[in-house]
Chains A and B, each alone.
Chain A
Amino acid sequence: MSTPPIIGARIPQLGAREKVTGQAVYTDDMKLPGMLYGAILRSPHAHARIKRIDTSKARALPGVKDVVTGDDTLKVAYGNWRLVPDIQDEYVLAVDKVRYVGDEVAAVCALDADTARRACELIEVEYEVLPAVFSVEEALAEGAPTIRAEKPGNLSLTREIEYGGVDEAFTRAEYVREDTFRVPTVSHAYLEPCSALAAPDEGGRVTLWTSTQTPYIVQVLLAKTLGLPENHVRVIKPQVGGGFGGKMELRTWEFCAAFMALRTGRPVKFTLTRADELAYGRRRHAMVLRSKIGLTRDGVILAKDLDVLLDSGGYNAMGATATFLVGNFGAMLYRIPAYRYLGRYVYTNNPPASAMRGFGAPQALFAGECQLNMVAEELGIDPIELRIRNAMQAGDSVPGVATARTCGFREALEKVRDASGWVEKRARKRPGKGIGVAGCSFISGGVFNWFDTKYHFTSCEVRVFEDGTAHLLTMASDIGQGSDTVLRQILAAELGIDIHKIRLTAGDTAVTPKADLGTWGSRVTLMAGNAVLDAARKIKEMLAGVLFMEYDLNQIHDVAFAGDRVFVRAKPKRGMDFGECVYKALRGRRGEPLTAFGYYTPRDKGLVTPAFSFGAQVIEVEVDEDTGVVSVEQVHTAHDSGVPINTMAVEGQLEGSIHMGLGYALSEELITVEGRVRNATFLDYRIPAAEDMPPSASYEIVTRDPEGPYGAKEAGEGLVSPTAPAIAEAIWDAVGVRSDTLPITPQRVLEGLGKL
């Protein structure tokens, strides 16, 4: 059966008109009658015991309607990792201790935002300041202060992978090198600051509108922290202005909005400032990665030993996943017969890090790909050739962890080599100009059930009507990437109806079918897409019978759905309009509506993902040797994301990833001194602007993944990783400076050149 033309089409987002006219509604755009405004009091100390909180002055301020502290709450520890209760270590409001500057201590709601903020300042908190630690090395040192009593020594968790006899393999290696890389903590810097609005609902229930990637997770954890049945809590995701992993946990303001709405009987809204986001918000993990690699003289990898220290900050958040994934990505891309990984997740008194686009891959691949480029230099092998010699292929696996069933890595490397003029540009040195390469791989959704959901990983409902339209209900969360459009493309392709005839309801836990784990790990297209396929096929089954009745078909006939018609595939004239077919089926069911649920849960797919994407990127830069300023001039990317469902959306993900990778490479870093972020404004936290963005050429390496809907794999995160190592290599090619630390600021370039 051929792929319907809507698969792989360039289709603008279906909600684009509302976005360009300003009609699309985000959480902070909403206002309800009687609504109160919330504000949060945060800890000024990185580590302290709370001895006393006096809220009386705040309560006495006219206009203040409620003040809450940890003592008013149930004091249950919570976190996304429900599977391992031991690492659920966070409280919605601090209990006894604060563990980072910005830890939430109390919250206020009042008639207006100014009053709420002023009331916060009137809350008196007596702290006993404790010694604090701000780096993983300090935190692990003998005698370091304990941040969480359950974890003396501050080692929150470890993860090990080992196979293939690493020590023995290193003895056979003709070439061995060991390097240490440091990557900083960076911000998601989504443009929409977090916002949450809650309203009391009848019978002690509550509804929360929130800027989230994971409405179901928020519902469950909110119910737990409020002490309500899950079904009493309704979470609705309005339009979301970007997330990139930063909006996938229950957060304090969500809890406080709901809690205080229930206590006051009035709607309550919290909206963060940019300074809150940058100073205290979730962030990507800073890491120290020590990597040792052994090869034969002609460049065949024999062994790799990777030791990583991850800076957790004050709480675990999604750290267990990060610790695991760094190890996984350390072994991806190449055939590494012997591999050892030790990841240690370490508490510090920095603001907590958590999931961010690429989750573990940007760090692991910065280290791995930079190191491979150094190997290439020393062995005198072209870096692309070295990669091709070792590239993973379809069917290869990381033993005990995952198998890549499709893999276009080698093709991607060849494509960027040829398309960029690599060979010639590498050979012909031009002053200040350089070219570099790096590869990447990513997961298409995680298979590890850390949330310990008892439901399917994703579900949807499809309803069809006699007017020829359909309604897709899904808890999958479009946070800007366009998945609402992609899912409708898949449904339109299956049902053969015009995509504009599909209404979509998404992300409302009281309405959309249970459950969906949310948008992270590049899971939506593959997982929610498969659920849509499942539901659509059930609907088609209901409709096919109508044709069999109508035309008394031989049992062997197949029914086709295309062009808003349902017809006998072998005899297309025999058929009817989609709507008419629904009508007839409905009559046959004596009025019972045609509706079907679809589900997807990856089973028996290892520990990581059902499908890996692969890619390779070549980047050209120009370096000003006097100022150290690096200009990125051209990016060439080849990407195996399976069969792209929406090419415009895939390109959009690619270019957005390059933007983030560019910032990670050259300018972004939350400069944190003693746990305090010193650059908590967009003026000083430098994400690239339009002028910084290079032209980008991209090439799809199409593989057809057996697990993905229509063969699709992920496209949203993998490409955030190769940009930094490729730029680092290009800088080396240009001026001979290698940087093992990000970001590669002009200052670092000049230091490398010995000019400072």
Chain B
Amino acid sequence: MRGKASEPGGQKTLPVAKRVLELTVNGDRYEVAVEPWTSLAQVLRDELRLTGTKVGCNEGDCGACTVLVDGRSVSSCLYLAVEAEGRDVTTIEGLAETPDTLHPLQEAFIEHGGLQCGFCTGGMLMSSAFLLSHTPEPDEGEIRRGLSGNLCRCTGYNKIVESVDAAAKRLAADEGGTA
């Protein structure tokens, strides 16, 4: 360790204090005190009590913790909460526009049996939402590739793929209708 590292501007390096963060999640602003190494998943679940974001591996492999940060899907278990400051976070609880409606993806997952135990479902939906945000009319291969970071042990994926396809078609039809 270099000598000067311990006293920059009179601060001591250890122990590191909690930091108060301002987070915008699903359009709501929160102030939370977190340690710099706390993951976004942990803050969402433990502090904000938005437990729809699941932790299946905490290693970036399973996708159960997927949320959108500034519209992009990320693994919130590998994303430091401090990095979310100043950005827009969307979780599964905020996918639908209003609390009493469902996003077309959510409706399609229900109708087409795109879920069983539900543990992967929030993450699947957020990845699907990201996919449709940049590829509104994906073919089957694009859907499967778009879900490459989301593992599911129950459904065998095919009904999830069908669900995303149905939602995309419905969204495209709605667009066509209103445009």
Q: Report the separation of the CA atoms of residues A655 and B50 in the bound assembly, to the nearest whole angstrom.
A: 31
Look across to chain B and name the residue whose beta carbon is closest to the beta carbon of A647: B113
Whether B56 contacts A659 by the Cβ 8 Å rule is: no
Whether A480 contacts B92 by the Cβ 8 Å rule is: no
Number of interface residues, chain A, beta carbon within 8 A: 56
Whether A191 contacts B93 by the Cβ 8 Å rule is: no
Whether B52 contacts A191 by the Cβ 8 Å rule is: no
Whether B52 contacts A659 by the Cβ 8 Å rule is: no
Q: Report the separation of the CA atoms of residues A167 and B116 in the bound assembly, to the nearest whole angstrom.
A: 48
Look across to chain B and name the residue whose beta carbon is closest to the beta carbon of A277: B57
Q: Quote the shortest CB–CB distance from A377 to chain B (angstroms).
A: 30
Q: Report the separation of the CA atoms of residues A371 and B49 in the bound assembly, to the nearest whole angstrom.
A: 54
Partner of B117, one of A242, A273, A687: A242
Whether B110 contacts A690 by the Cβ 8 Å rule is: no
Look across to chain B and name the residue whose beta carbon is closest to the beta carbon of A188: B153
Q: Quote the shortest CB–CB distance from B138 to chain A (angstroms).
A: 12
Which of B59, B152, B154 has the most chain A CB atoms inside 10 A of its CB?
B154
B130 located at the interface, meaning its Cβ lies under 8 Å from any Cβ of chain A in the complex? no
Partner of B110, one of A16, A26, A188: A16
B160 located at the interface, meaning its Cβ lies under 8 Å from any Cβ of chain A in the complex? yes
Q: Report the separation of the CA atoms of residues A17 and B120 in the bound assembly, to the nearest whole angstrom.
A: 14
Whether A23 contacts B55 by the Cβ 8 Å rule is: no
Knowing A29-B51, A274-B58, A691-B145, the reply to whether A24 touches B154 (Cβ < 8 A) is: no
Whether A274 contacts B46 by the Cβ 8 Å rule is: no
A652 located at the interface, meaning its Cβ lies under 8 Å from any Cβ of chain B in the complex? yes
Q: Report the separation of the CA atoms of residues A714 and B59 in the bound assembly, to the nearest whole angstrom.
A: 36
Question: A645-669 interface mask toward B, CB cutoff 8 Å, 1 = contact, 0 = none?
Answer: 0001101101111111000000000
Interfacial residues of chain A within 640-698, with CB under 8 A of chain B in the complex: 648-649, 651-652, 654-660, 681-683, 687, 689-691, 693, 695-696
Look across to chain A and name the residue whose beta carbon is closest to the beta carbon of B99: A21
A756 located at the interface, meaning its Cβ lies under 8 Å from any Cβ of chain B in the complex? no
Whether A273 contacts B58 by the Cβ 8 Å rule is: yes
Whether B118 contacts A241 by the Cβ 8 Å rule is: yes
Whether B91 contacts A193 by the Cβ 8 Å rule is: no
Question: A337-353 interface mask toward B, CB cutoff 8 Å, 1 = contact, 0 = none?
Answer: 00000000000000000
Look across to chain A and name the residue whose beta carbon is closest to the beta carbon of B147: A690
Q: Report the separation of the CA atoms of residues A28 and B54 in the bound assembly, to the nearest whole angstrom.
A: 9
Q: Report the separation of the CA atoms of residues A658 and B152 in the bound assembly, to the nearest whole angstrom.
A: 13
Q: Report the separation of the CA atoms of residues A23 and B159 in the bound assembly, to the nearest whole angstrom.
A: 21
Look across to chain B and name the residue whose beta carbon is closest to the beta carbon of A20: B106
Residues of A within 8 A of B106 (CB): 17, 20-21
A425 located at the interface, meaning its Cβ lies under 8 Å from any Cβ of chain B in the complex? no
Knowing A480-B119, A690-B161, the reply to whether A242 touches B59 (Cβ < 8 A) is: no
Q: Quote the shortest CB–CB distance from B6 to chain A (angstroms).
A: 23
Q: How many B residues touch the partner, as a band?
A: 35 or more
Whether B148 contacts A691 by the Cβ 8 Å rule is: yes
Whether A652 contacts B154 by the Cβ 8 Å rule is: yes
Q: Quote the shortest CB–CB distance from A667 to chain B (angstroms).
A: 13
Q: Report the separation of the CA atoms of residues A192 and B55 in the bound assembly, to the nearest whole angstrom.
A: 8
Whether B122 contacts A690 by the Cβ 8 Å rule is: no
Knowing A22-B51, A22-B91, the reply to whether A193 touches B56 (Cβ < 8 A) is: yes
Residues of A within 8 A of B151 (CB): 191, 682, 687, 689
A197 located at the interface, meaning its Cβ lies under 8 Å from any Cβ of chain B in the complex? no
Look across to chain A and name the residue whose beta carbon is closest to the beta carbon of B61: A682
Q: Report the separation of the CA atoms of residues A31 and B51 in the bound assembly, to the nearest whole angstrom.
A: 11
A312 located at the interface, meaning its Cβ lies under 8 Å from any Cβ of chain B in the complex? no
Q: Report the separation of the CA atoms of residues A749 and B102 in the bound assembly, to the nearest whole angstrom.
A: 47
Partner of A691, one of B96, B116, B144: B144
Whether A682 contacts B52 by the Cβ 8 Å rule is: no
Whether A693 contacts B59 by the Cβ 8 Å rule is: no
Whether B117 contacts A192 by the Cβ 8 Å rule is: yes
Q: Quote the shortest CB–CB distance from B162 to chain A (angstroms).
A: 10
Q: Report the separation of the CA atoms of residues A638 and B109 in the bound assembly, to the nearest whole angstrom.
A: 25
Knowing A189-B153, A242-B153, the reply to whether A24 touches B57 (Cβ < 8 A) is: no
Q: Quote the shortest CB–CB distance from B121 to chain A (angstroms).
A: 5
Q: Report the separation of the CA atoms of residues A695 and B91 in the bound assembly, to the nearest whole angstrom.
A: 31
Whether B117 contacts A479 by the Cβ 8 Å rule is: yes
Whether A31 contacts B46 by the Cβ 8 Å rule is: yes
Residues of A within 8 A of B55 (CB): 28, 193
A57 located at the interface, meaning its Cβ lies under 8 Å from any Cβ of chain B in the complex? no
Look across to chain B and name the residue whose beta carbon is closest to the beta carbon of A695: B158
A240 located at the interface, meaning its Cβ lies under 8 Å from any Cβ of chain B in the complex? yes
Whether B57 contacts A19 by the Cβ 8 Å rule is: no
Residues of A within 8 A of B152 (CB): 191, 659, 690
Residues of B within 8 A of A480 (CB): 116-119, 154
Knowing A191-B56, A192-B54, the reply to whether A16 touches B153 (Cβ < 8 A) is: no
Residues of B within 8 A of A658 (CB): 156
Partner of A689, one of B110, B117, B148: B148
Q: Report the separation of the CA atoms of residues A244 and B61 in the bound assembly, to the nearest whole angstrom.
A: 21
Residues of A within 8 A of B54 (CB): 26, 191-192, 241
B125 located at the interface, meaning its Cβ lies under 8 Å from any Cβ of chain A in the complex? yes
Q: Quote the shortest CB–CB distance from B178 to chain A (angstroms).
A: 24
Residues of A within 8 A of B155 (CB): 652, 655-656, 659
Q: Quote the shortest CB–CB distance from A658 to chain B (angstroms).
A: 5
A631 located at the interface, meaning its Cβ lies under 8 Å from any Cβ of chain B in the complex? no
3 closest A-B pairs by CB: A22-B52, A480-B117, A241-B119
Q: What are 7 A-B residue pairs whose CB atoms fall within 8 Å in the complex?
A: A23-B52, A25-B51, A26-B54, A28-B55, A655-B159, A690-B150, A693-B157
* Chain B residues in the interface with A (C-beta under 8 A): 45-46, 49-59, 61-62, 64, 91-93, 95-96, 102, 106, 109-111, 113, 115-122, 125, 141, 143-145, 147-148, 150-161
* Inter-chain pairs besides A24-B118, A690-B157, 4 sampled, C-beta below 8 Å: A16-B115, A655-B155, A656-B154, A693-B157
